[in-house]
Amino acid sequence: MTAITVIGSVNLDFVATGATLPAPGETVTGASLARHPGGKGANQALAAQRLGADVKLVARVGADSLADEALSLLDAEGVDLSACAVDSAAATGVALIAVATGGENQIVVAPGANAAFAPQHLTQATHSALICQLELPLETVAKAVAEATGFVCLNLAPAAAMPDETLARADLIVVNETEAAFYGQALHALPGLIAVTWGAKGAGLYRAGQQIAAAAPPPVTAIDTTGAGDAFVGALTLALLEGQTPQAALKFACTAGALAATRAGAQPSLPTRAEVDARQECV
């Protein structure tokens, strides 16, 4: 089984689903409310676990009533939580998510313990494959990447300026259209693989500025796109580690992301390996 360590954020998501998203200054009523475990780190950890990896999550939560709920699905599905620490001085991270009919969303995050995850809290280097995102302090991400000894996937979300050496160390960088625009052509001067996602249009995989693979997702009815990008990251990392070709790995990741958009909630929506394989066989 492929071992992956995820160093990243843990949140509890409060999801309000309604007919439309509010414009600035507008109040939209008539929504329904649900609570789901979330956070990009936790989402990507569960995504990889459900797809067949052996995953360890390194993260921080608050000493409050939200922590157990935020970690509940990870714990139930066998993700190694031995490196998830409790921060007695901070709250568990919370995301406030508005979802409209059709799956589009708006997200506001109160990071809590995630923002207090300082570099000194990383007590050992990662020797398995590593996945990181940018919902932790950037200096913590930079240290984790610098000390990693195996394959490194860096999901540059949300977009932020990172040290050149951190970007250059990544074997795989994943960005969406907005993030790709933030970094510009500098991404394509990096030595690793660059995956760019375009939502329902699919994704492309690049090396040295040249597209080496492109894939479109299977047609689905989108309900909530909140966890789709995280499903893509976990799936693409695992597929490449398994030795799948760039084209096959990208198709696998696009399928996982599309299936995640067909169900509500970030973590509850993440597909299993059997679901992804079955959908690929049908296409």
Give the domain CATH number at 51: 3.40.1190.20
CB count in 10 Å sphere of residue 146: 13
Q: Which residues pair with 96 in a beta bridge?
A: 14, 108
Query: What's the confidence (pLDDT) of residue 122?
Result: 96
CA distances from 207 to 32, 170, 177, 225 (A): 44, 12, 17, 27
Extract the residue ranges of the chain whose pLDDT is less than 50: none
Task: Exactly one of 54, 64, 230, 277 is catalytic; name it.
Answer: 230
Asked if residue 251 is part of any domain, the answer here is yes
pLDDT of 111 reads 96
What are the backbone angles phi and psi of residue 259, rounded to the nearest 5°?
-65, -35
- The answer as to whether 18 is a domain residue is no
Cis peptide before 158 (omega within 30 of 0): yes
Buried b (16+ CB within 10 A) or exposed e, 150-164: ebbbbbbbeeeebee
In the chain, how many domains are there? 1
Q: Report yes or no: 59 and 37 within 8 Å, Cβ to Cβ.
A: no
pLDDT, residue 261, reads 93
pLDDT at residue 102, rounded to an integer: 75
**What is the pTM for the complete model shown?**
0.93
Can you give the pLDDT at residue 71? 97
In a domain, 259, yes or no: yes
pLDDT at residue 264, as a whole number: 83
Contact 251, 277 (CB under 8 A): no
Residue 62 belongs to a domain: yes
164 is annotated as an active-site residue: no
What phi and psi, each to the nearest 5 degrees, are found at residue 131? -120, 130
pLDDT of residue 283: 56
Q: Of the candidates 115, 107, 111, 102, which has an alpha carbon nearest to the alpha carbon of residue 14? A: 107
Number of neighbours of residue 30 by Cβ within 10 angstroms: 9
74 occurs within a structural domain: yes
Range of the domain at 250: 3-10+39-90+113-282
Map tokens 């506001």 to a residue: 108
- 67-95 burial, b if ≥16 CB within 10 A, otherwise e? beebbebbeeeebbbebbeebeebbbbbb
Integer Cα distance of 129 and 230 in angstroms: 16
Q: Please provide the distance, in angstroms rounded to a whole number, between the alpha carbons at the two ends of the chain.
A: 27
Q: Count the residues in the chain.
A: 283
CB neighbours of 74 closer than 8 A, spacing ≥ 6?
A: 37, 42, 45, 46, 49, 57, 81, 267
Contact 142, 19 (CB under 8 A): no
What letter does residue 170 receive in the DSSP assignment?
Answer: -
58 domain residue, yes or no: yes
- Whether the CB-CB separation of 79 and 136 falls below 8 Å is answered with no
Domain for residue 82, yes or no?
A: yes
pLDDT of residue 6: 98
pLDDT at 83: 97
In a domain, 199, yes or no: yes
pLDDT at 267: 93
